[in-house]
Chains A and B, each alone.
Chain A
Amino acid sequence: MRAVRLRREGPGDGTPRRGPARPASLRLLRREARGDAPLLACLAVLVAVFTGLCALGPVELGGKEDQALRQRLAAAADAGAVLTVSAPVELPQPGLGAPNPPALRTQLESGGQSVVSTAGRTLGTALRPVRTTVDYQLLGIDSPLPVDPRVTQESVTLHHISDAPAYLHYVQGAAPADSTPAGELPGIALSTGEAKLLGLGLGQQVELWFQATRSSPRYEVLVRLVGIYRPEQEQSEFWRQLPGLDKPLEYPGQLAGTLNIAVQGLVGADAPELLAKQGIPLPTVGWEYRVALGDAAVKQLPALAADTRNLAIDLNDLLCTDSPATGDSPCSIGAHPSGSYVVDDGLTPVLTAFTGADAQTRALAGFAVASLAAVGLATVLVSVRLLLRRRAVHLRLQRSRGASATGLVLQRSLVTAPVLLLAGELGWRLGLLPAPTGTSGSPQPVAALLGTAAALLLVPLLTWYAVREPGRAREVRRRASRRTRRLVLEATALVLCVGGVVALRVRGSGGGAGIDVQLSLVPVLVALVAVLLLVRLYPLVLGLLAGRSRRGGGVVAFLGLRGAARDAGGTSLALFVLVITLGTAVFGGMVSRSVYDGAAVGAAWTAGADVSLVQQGDVAPTPVAAGGSSPVRATVAEYLRTVLLTGDEDGANLPQTALITVDPAQLAAADPDGPLARALGVLHGGKPVATGTASATAPVLADPGLIVAENGESLRAVVDSALGSSRTALHLKPVGALTPALRQDPVLGPLVAGLPADTPVIVGTTALEPLLPAQQTGGTALLLFARPGAAPAAVAAAAADALGPQAQVRVRAEVLGTLRGDGLVRIVDDVYTVCSLLAVVFGLLAVALELVLTARERGRTSSYLRTLGLAGRQAAVLQVLQLVPLAVAAAAGGVLVGVLEPRLLGPALSISQFTGGPAAPALHTDYLLTALLGAGLAALVVCAAVVESTVLRMRRLGGVLRLGEA
């Protein structure tokens, strides 16, 4: 050793002597960053993915929501015009001396434009004219006389439909002229079927008559058949909406064995003036619109709903003028005076349904997003822990060399912050690149900043925790023990979880705009509590197993299980990540499965059978061929009427009730195992039976509430006829309760679905039909059960006219397809798929990092055991065995959380918005998926353990020994 003379200076006095403390140099930071590169890269990727998702996810989600809304609007438009504005127009009649206004046809377009310009800005922009119509009331046909002697009445409704020519092919003659030459009769056109049924030929003159009321004058009108057409583009929306233009309606007349015929004919654009000259003054002008929303459809939804609600008011405010003299408000269509504008709003129900479903979609998506965020944050936490663990020795060294805690925190932050900020910025920009423009969603910079800030803050926080100054002696003594702190943490998590669940159950998942934070956080808390319980419980189980294995002589198993039990607390973060990841995936699978199954129930409820026809009013269906070669196996007719009930015993009035009559024999043949079919057996045919002097009493199944209200006594039902001209009274005796299960029988769906939810229902048999008058407010449904293998379309075609052309056809398969193909359902599926996949990636990363964190301890144990003579293979088995309990606990915990969570949340988690149906759909666990997910996750963890043990086995003896000594 070489001696060197030093200046003898006094030892230090404990304070800096030449200036303030300086932060670590840039060079030092650079070198530290180089050493931390792998973990910094890991953190950077996590932050970049997070900010990328914040940039892309909401925009993509918004685009999908827009698409779903547009899909629903298109489906509504296909089913019929979404919005129809109509007004009865007054045309000058001959001899009244009124000035001749311009032809109505010249005013129709401008009238339609007025409607659009009057509508609010959002609605006005979205309205797309479909057609303009001029419709007349029903006209009787005087001549020619009916061909069929059974026909007692023939009638026609005349229409001018602007877009009709595009969907017609004239097989004879031509379309009625829009400018009929002077002196000629107004022309009409009929379909081939109609003309044939009426026995009309081209050029034939037809005499029509019209009488508004019995006291009104009777007008006779002459028209000429100028064209006979057949449909073109039969599958088009036009023919779905207007089938009556092709198919005449034949229905039973008032007298037995008689028939009535109703047809729809087309007239030219000048028909209003020509018919007005013959005394028919009041056609109704209608403008039908569909609504087409462009970009950012969902964002426009509130304004659109408001505009739609206000449309009728706006129209009548702007296009009508108050007349103080008469007290009414005459309106106008161009130069023509008109009645008030009426809006047939099919849009608001669509928007309302979408708003509810969208809120539920966001709530469900919030679950997945929150879980992903929690997994991401946990992964960041593990990464930072590992980063600090690797630097622990250096930090301690720097601390002892005089570095302040603040300086070290700053130093670590200076190393990580630029990387994380750059990664965040890069992720954000990369996320924006593929993000579609013009969607309702917008990038969430605040969320991205918060996520990045959380990652940024974790580094200084954990660094500070690692290098903080020891407290003063008194503080140290007072500091709560670790056991107490753990108990406090567990109790806090439990209280928060229980509170969150209770609050959610009380308030429900009332959807608002954006993601519900409380609803999103509860699953995370549930997972946290599950993990805390697991960490408490599974070491006990492992202890028991270890005891057994010790008695059984399995040293490796004993050591592995004991090691796993001891490390249980240390692996809680990995367990949390795995549990929440698996829980989210299982939860998503359950939601998906429940929606899938619930949609089947909803479709069955909506359609009632394979195919159903639903018509307003009580209509006797024409017979449908069933059995044999017909695609229809069986049919069931059912009728709905509104009745007023009073108790026979106490005379108390009961709420307005729906009376449904079903043919029990038909139902038993069609659906013998159905609950309603079996229950109707107690009615024994349901024929009214006269008892003494009282009028006939019919047995029925009644709503339990009605039975309780009247102590099971009979009820007097009053049924008003269609025009209110007569009343029928009969007595109903409840002989059985219409339990919820019976009320939810799909066969009642087509009629009950349209009733308010709290309407009491009574079900009787069609034996009552002869006693009951027809009601316009009622409904008729004809359920068609398909022969096995028969196509639903064939079934529908076989009975297309059974309830007349206006009947609504519901095909179960189509309803099901619509429900399952709904854009919002796909969003839920997509969000869960993406979030689950990302969570699995993050989770595995977290587990891998956690394994690295705890590898030293396991490696030390196995190295020590190897020096005692444990074989390499046994050491590897031990290594895997130490991690298998973690995998099993994670799989069990994740499955448990995923399965229990929806049950815990109860009413807060409603998926009925996606399924329809009579009640909230039952939650169905997808057991196969759950088992696969659980097993897959466990297998992945075990794989990680195997890889780790393989790496350890490759360690040479020298390394083993050194590790053992470390």
Chain B
Amino acid sequence: MSVNHAADRAGAPDLGELRRRAAEAARPEREEGLIVCENLVRIYQTEGVEVQALQGLDLAVARGEMVAVIGASGSGKSTLLGILSGQDVPTAGSAEVAGHDLLTMKRRDRLAYRRGTVGFVWQQTSRNLLPYLTAAENVMLPMTYAGVKRSERRNRAGELLDLMGVGYCADRGPGELSGGEQQRVAIAVANANRPRVLFADEPTGELDTATSEEIFAALRQANEELGVTVVVVTHDALVSEQVQRTVRIRNGRTSTEVLRRITTDDDGAQELTAEEYAVLDRNGRLQLPSEFTERLHMRKRVRLALETDHIGVWPDAAAQRAKADADEVQAETEGDDA
């Protein structure tokens, strides 16, 4: 049998090309977004104990979003913020913010990243501002580092303080400002160099509810007016009401997301709806909310069932018996009470 190998060779890829294609096919599809974290791991030692603060966290934030990352104390949210702000380095995984690969960034790049790409607001109002500078000087300080001309610095600082509603505080020192004013000045400082992302770590942690509202209003204003993507890290679940998307972190992984949107019904009435989603990572791992698993007595094992349009998650037989017993006991108790 004769085979026209030449014709085959002309149309067929060579071995190198095949390898490249194979590698591309094997490479996992990357998430899109301004902030993309994939399988992020951070391990550190404290007093001889190894702590896995992040255990393969995935997160994607789109440009212009205002996102809240919430989690209990010790869930890894501050570690995540430390990494995203360029002040810490992950142990493994990948983290990219505005095109900057945070794992491979060199020192100079890291500096430029902090100067121009990201801005920060911390929880402690007094720790956001240098106490020996006025509000305006505090706003001008990052611009000084970035090499902005003096006249431009002054103008920009004035504009930012006005935008945040604290223009009247320009010449006051932080000690002369209220907590809310300090945080608004801090937001102005964080936006001084026109960052692409603004990170806020518990920005309302020390503030009362009314002032917190003002701070979130300021953050939203920065998000909308200045186009900066805002990531707020907090342990306060109520904060999620202030943002469009809330990502919950549990045990160093993203567990659920809540999306808020305003829907308009047929009558034209607007309604704020919130839907909670569990996060499915690239490896197919899924964290079930603890209230779900506890309610159904799911422990150690669950049974999965693939249906035509969904996957059923069932407690195993032992758990079902435990649940039945519990229901029975509860029914008897209620009967006695009655």
B-binding residues in A (CB < 8 A): 1-4, 6, 8-22, 24-25, 28, 31-32, 34-35, 393-394, 397-405, 407, 469-473, 476-477, 481-483
B33 at the interface (CB under 8 A from A): no
Q: Check B144–A16 contact: CB distance below 8 A.
A: no
Q: Check A1–B159 contact: CB distance below 8 A.
A: no
Q: In the complex, what residue of chain A is closest to B162 when comparing beta carbons?
A: A4
Q: How far is the CB of B160 from chain A (nearest CB, A)?
A: 8
Q: Check B217–A1 contact: CB distance below 8 A.
A: yes
Stretch of B5-13, B145-153, B247-255, B318-326 contacting A (4+ beta carbons < 8 Å): B145-153
B281 at the interface (CB under 8 A from A): no
Contact with A along B80-106 (1 / 0, CB 8 A): 000001011111100000101001100
**Which of B111, B152, B218 has the most CB atoms of chain A within a 10 A radius of its CB?**
B111
- Given A16-B115, A25-B144, check contact A483 B189 (CB 8 Å): no
Contact with A along B282-318 (1 / 0, CB 8 A): 0000000000000000000000000000000000000
Residues of B within 8 A of A9 (CB): 194
Tell me whether chain A's interface is mostly helix, strand or loop, or mixed.
loop
Q: Check A469–B218 contact: CB distance below 8 A.
A: no
Give Cα A482 to B49, complex, Å: 11
Contacting B149 at CB < 8 Å: which of A8, A19, A24? A19
Contact with A along B193-204 (1 / 0, CB 8 A): 111100000000
Beyond the given A11-B228, A13-B117, A22-B145, could you list 14 further A-B residue pairs with CB under 8 A, ordered by the A residue number?
A12-B117, A14-B117, A17-B147, A18-B147, A28-B137, A28-B141, A34-B132, A397-B129, A400-B87, A402-B115, A402-B146, A469-B107, A472-B89, A472-B104
**Count of B residues near A, CB < 8 Å?**
60
Q: How far is the CB of B102 from chain A (nearest CB, A)?
A: 9
- Given A6-B226, A16-B147, check contact A402 B85 (CB 8 Å): no
- Given A14-B115, A28-B133, check contact A407 B145 (CB 8 Å): yes
Residues of A within 8 A of B144 (CB): 22, 24-25
Q: What are 5 A-B residue pairs whose CB atoms fall within 8 Å in the complex?
A: A12-B195, A16-B116, A21-B145, A398-B141, A398-B145
Q: Check B112–A6 contact: CB distance below 8 A.
A: no
The 8 closest A-B pairs by CB, nearest first: A402-B115, A402-B145, A12-B116, A11-B196, A31-B132, A19-B147, A14-B116, A14-B117
Give Cα A31 to B98, complex, Å: 36
Contacting A6 at CB < 8 Å: which of B98, B103, B225? B225
Q: Check B88–A470 contact: CB distance below 8 A.
A: yes
Q: Check A1–B214 contact: CB distance below 8 A.
A: yes
Residues of B within 8 A of A1 (CB): 164-165, 214, 217-218, 221
Q: Check B152–A473 contact: CB distance below 8 A.
A: no
Q: Check A15–B116 contact: CB distance below 8 A.
A: yes
Give Cα A9 to B103, complex, Å: 29
B125 at the interface (CB under 8 A from A): no
Give Cα A40 to B107, complex, Å: 31
Residues of B within 8 A of A6 (CB): 159, 163, 225-226
Q: Check B163–A4 contact: CB distance below 8 A.
A: yes
Q: Check A473–B91 contact: CB distance below 8 A.
A: yes
Contacting A11 at CB < 8 Å: which of B110, B145, B194? B194
Give Cα A87 to B90, complex, Å: 94
Residues of A within 8 A of B189 (CB): 401
Q: How far is the CB of A393 from chain B (nearest CB, A)?
A: 5
Q: Check A400–B114 contact: CB distance below 8 A.
A: yes
Q: Check B163–A473 contact: CB distance below 8 A.
A: no
CB under 8 Å from chain A, chain B span 135-193:
137, 141-142, 144-149, 152, 159, 162-165, 189, 192-193
Q: Check B103–A472 contact: CB distance below 8 A.
A: yes
Q: Check A18–B152 contact: CB distance below 8 A.
A: yes
Q: In the complex, what residue of chain A is closest to B186 when comparing beta carbons?
A: A397
Q: How far is the CB of B119 from chain A (nearest CB, A)?
A: 8
Residues of A within 8 A of B214 (CB): 1
Contacting B146 at CB < 8 Å: which of A10, A16, A35, A476? A16
Residues of A within 8 A of B218 (CB): 1
Q: Check A476–B89 contact: CB distance below 8 A.
A: yes
Give Cα A15 to B196, complex, Å: 12
Residues of A within 8 A of B16 (CB): none
Give Cα A12 to B114, complex, Å: 11
Residues of A within 8 A of B120 (CB): 400-401
Residues of A within 8 A of B195 (CB): 11-12
Residues of B within 8 A of A471 (CB): 89
Residues of B within 8 A of A34 (CB): 132
Q: How far is the CB of B64 from chain A (nearest CB, A)?
A: 9
Give Cα A608 to B127, complex, Å: 79
Q: How far is the CB of B118 from chain A (nearest CB, A)?
A: 9
Give Cα A591 to B10, complex, Å: 97
Q: In the complex, what residue of chain A is closest to B50 when comparing beta carbons?
A: A481
Q: In the complex, what residue of chain A is closest to B114 when comparing beta carbons?
A: A402
Give Cα A127 to B159, complex, Å: 88
Residues of A within 8 A of B87 (CB): 399-400, 470
B28 at the interface (CB under 8 A from A): no
